[in-house]
Amino acid sequence: MGTAAGEPVGAPTGGSRRTEALFRTAMLVKGVDGAAELLGAVFLLLVPGAAVHRLVADILAHDLLGPPDGTLARHLSTAADEFTSGRPTFAVVYLALHGIVKLGLVAALLRKWLPAYPIAVVVLGLFVVYELYRAVRTGSLVLPFLAALDIAVIVVVVREYRSAKPRR
């Protein structure tokens, strides 16, 4: 027996194919994001503070972020100062944990392990809350963007979970 469109019962519909494609794209983005965060943590552990200051100075000297006294330049200078002052611990731990958790969730979700879906929603929700909290406290321009990205992924994960979950 088929559907009105002639597709077999249980065949993916246009909406579910779209959701699956969106889900796979979101997982690719989160996987790349998680890997970049993990690599960033390793980079921060291995690169001396003087090299960070030289890189920031080069970026600011070439006006790559706009005027040297602009908002982006100030944020980059502040981040470099915090890093070189011997306090990279927060950034390293945050990036490493965030990256590892994201990569683990992406692997579980791509394998369609159903218990991972609610876990992913909760973990990403906690990341959103923390990212917004840190953004307010630090004036970060990047963290709200990352929070919005995590919210979009939460929506996609919930949609995929609803379509992957067995009907009762």
Domain spans in the chain, listed from the N-terminal domain onward: 15-164
CA distance 76 to 82: 10
Please tell me which residue, 14 or 162, carries the higher pLDDT value: 162
Q: Is the pLDDT of residue 87 over 70?
A: no
List, for residues 15-26, the tens digit of each pLDDT value. Answer: 678 878 888 898
Read off the pLDDT of each residue in 30-46 and give the average, rounded to a whole number: 89
Q: Which residue type, as a one-letter code, is found at position 83? A: F
Q: What is the pLDDT of residue 90?
A: 72
Question: What does DSSP assign to residue 87?
Answer: -
CA of residue 139 relative to chain centroid, distance? 19
Give this prediction's pTM: 0.66
Where would I find the H helices in the chain?
A: 14-46, 49-61, 71-84, 89-110, 116-138, 142-164
Q: What is the pLDDT of residue 9?
A: 38
Q: At 168, is the secondary structure helix, strand, or coil?
A: coil
